[in-house]
Amino acid sequence: MIEANKIFPIYKVEHNCILSMAGDITIVYRATLPEVFTLSERDYETFHQAWVRAIKLLPQHSVFHKQDWFIASKHKADYQNNSQSFLSRSSEQFFNERPYLDHECFVYLTKKPSGRKLSTSAYSNICRKSIVPSQTVDPAVFQEFSDAAGQFERILTDTGLCTLKRLDDDELAGTANKPGIIERYCFLLGRDQMPMIRDIHVQDGLQVGDKKVELYALADADDLPALCGSRINYEKYSTDRTKFSIGFASPLGTLLNCNHILNQYVFIDDAQQTIKRLEAKKLRLQSLSAYSRENAINRDATNDFLNEALASGKLPVKAHFNVLVWSDDPAKTADLKNLVGSAMAQMDAVAKQETDGQAQIWFAGLPGNEADFPMNDTFDTFLEQSTCFFNLETNYKSSVSSFGIRLGDRLTGNPILVDLSDLPMELSWVGNRSKFLCGPSGSGKSFFTNHMMRSYYEQGSHVVIMDIGHSYKGLCDLVDGYYFTYSEEDPIKFNPFYLSDGDVMDTEKRESIKTLLLALWKKDDEPYRRSEYVAVSNALTLYLAHLDRNPDVFPCFN
């Protein structure tokens, strides 16, 4: 057994950065992504291009690492609020412990010292008995890298599709009562879990405490789909006439219903050196092409890659993607392989279960240790293609507003507080608070409206409903409201001439009564003449004068 402090690659956490033993600097952001099923086809392309532009700003010898955590959680009911109504409390009881996936997204930007030796599966920190820093970090390099990270953040936030928040020292290293992101990754701790130390076994598979961990990777170009893009069609919600878009990597993200971490790596090195290396590879394959058809195919593929890099000016990078899965229930561990394999099949990719290099890849995913990633498990590609495999969506989040209604998310039915009125106005998404419900008979229009009206009423709103069909009489009775209805035997009645104490018959009320009398007199398509309007006006004036002279007469329409 090796003690972790002898091979632990992190030197210290300071200035809101992680400094490794090898002199690597890592800046960490917490990213807030758009909610799943809310982006259009144009939004996906805009978001994809923003990632491309942002990563291009990173200096040479940098590593981009995006890490999406999906942890199985349960909804916690709020029983502390004693002012809840009967229905609100019943809702809390119904949804208590409703399972859902809690999602967090972290972005790690790592700057490697120039001249740092690349790692392989045979030469990895976890395979060595000690680590000696190769060089100290130059403050000028740190400032230059911080500026590039700031530009990276600005480009992504300017899209309006996501936000980035830089993690501070406590969020990186943790405190006595709350684990940081480094500790959470080592021991696979959820967002709200207390610190807990677990044994880590890397022989005969990877095991963290009592959790059996499996790793599935996309590390070979032969396993990748023939085509990739910023989006794919979600067949469950698509039809022959309409295409419903989701992110290209969403099957490995929000749609993969198990505990998992989706790691996305992009390695930015010297582009000229990469081109030179591939030119040498092409010449080597050229000399061997006569001995094997596979060599000839690889030669042509390398030549096409070089031609595209030089003709279009695309940035050649190395990339790697993997899914780290585990289950709290040992009986469900056997199903993980089928879940991941099915998810990758939706992307037209082939999942490779890592066994020999699993520990090295997992260890390189430790925040701040990205530069120790085994490069033999990466593949050459362009930046535009590599960003297609990024998870671009998150699960539904409750609105920051305290006003709204509870709705169930589309994936698990977890209750979410949604502000449909005020927040969209503040964000300039809408210009009014009107709502239009469309659906066939029995789809739940009245049910939803009952829920919305009750929620608004309990939050202090004054509610007036024109009820056709008595769908809301029960709700009105529940809150002891006023319900005015009519039938053929007892038609609806009102008195336009009646004035309560303090009211006066002003010009506006007079015009309203004239309009009412003309509407009752004439048909919908029958216009009235000027003489008729004058006659009605004179009659109304004389009647009001009669009421003034005879206060004992009750004003009514008789």
- Tell me how far apart the alpha carbons of residues 189 and 343 are, in angstroms, rounded to a whole number: 24
Residues 425 and 542 in one domain: no
Q: Could you please report the per-residue DSSP string of 447-486? A: HHHHHHHHHHHHTT-------SSSTTHHHHHHTT------
Residues 417 and 377 in one domain: no
Residue 128 lies in a domain: yes
Residues 430 and 503 in one domain: no
Q: Is the distance from CB of 70 to CB of 260 less than 8 angstroms?
A: yes
| Residue 126 pLDDT level (bands cut at 50, 70, 90) | low
Residues 369 and 467 in one domain: no
Cα torsion 257, 263, 264, 266 to 10°: value is -170
Q: What is the pLDDT of residue 469?
A: 84
Question: Helices (H), strands (E): how many in the chain?
Answer: 16, 17
> How many structural domains comprise the chain?
3
Residues 169 and 51 in one domain: yes
| Residue 497 pLDDT level (bands cut at 50, 70, 90) | confident
Residues 412 and 452 in one domain: yes
- Tell me how far apart the alpha carbons of residues 250 and 394 are, in angstroms, rounded to a whole number: 9
| Residue 345 pLDDT level (bands cut at 50, 70, 90) | very high
Is 0.75 surpassed by the pTM of this model? yes
What pLDDT, in 10s, does the model give residues 220-229?
888 999 999 9
Pick from 199, 200, 203, 181: which is nearest to 190 by CA?
181
Given 334, 357, 389, the domain boundary residue is 389
How would you label 218-236 residue by residue, b for 16+ Cβ within 10 Å and e otherwise? bbeeeebbeebebbbebee
In which element (H, E) is residue 540 found?
Answer: helix 530-549
Given 453, 478, 503, the domain boundary residue is 478
Residue 286 lies in a domain: no
Domain span holding position 524: 494-558
Residue 381 lies in a domain: yes
3-class DSSP state of 174: strand
Residue 541 lies in a domain: yes
463 contacts: CB under 8 Å, gap ≥ 6: 453, 456, 457, 481
Least confident window among 46-50, 319-323, 362-366, 542-546: 542-546
Residues 412 and 548 in one domain: no
Residues 327 and 180 in one domain: yes
| Residue 505 pLDDT level (bands cut at 50, 70, 90) | confident
Q: Is the distance from CB of 250 to CB of 393 less than 8 angstroms?
A: yes
Residues 332 and 440 in one domain: no
Q: Per-residue pLDDT averaged across 156-166, rounded?
A: 96
Q: What is the pLDDT of residue 130?
A: 47
Residues 185 and 328 in one domain: yes
Sign of CA dihedral 536, 541, 542, 547: positive
Residues 70 and 142 in one domain: yes
Given 478, 504, 532, the domain boundary residue is 478
What pLDDT, in 10s, does the model give residues 180-207?
999 999 999 999 899 999 999 988 889 9
Residue 395 lies in a domain: no
Residue 15 lies in a domain: yes
Q: Is the distance from CB of 92 to CB of 420 less than 8 angstroms?
A: no
Pick from 191, 173, 168: which is nearest to 183 by CA?
173
The structure tokens listed for 276 are 């030179």
Q: Is the distance from CB of 182 to CB of 22 less than 8 angstroms?
A: no
Residue 89 lies in a domain: no
The structure tokens listed for 141 are 């390099």
- Tell me how far apart the alpha carbons of residues 432 and 257 are, in angstroms, rounded to a whole number: 37
- Tell me how far apart the alpha carbons of residues 396 and 374 are, in angstroms, rounded to a whole number: 35
520 contacts: CB under 8 Å, gap ≥ 6: none
Residue 18 lies in a domain: yes
Q: Is the distance from CB of 172 to CB of 367 less than 8 angstroms?
A: yes
Q: What is the pLDDT of residue 117?
A: 62
The secondary structure of 162-213, three-state, reads CEEEECCHHHHHECCCCECHHHHHHHCCCCCCCCCCCCEECCCCEEECCEEE
> At how many degrees (to 10) do helices 271-288 and 293-312 cross?
150
Q: What is the pLDDT of residue 84?
A: 82
Residues 111 and 215 in one domain: yes
Q: Is the distance from CB of 352 to CB of 257 less than 8 angstroms?
A: no
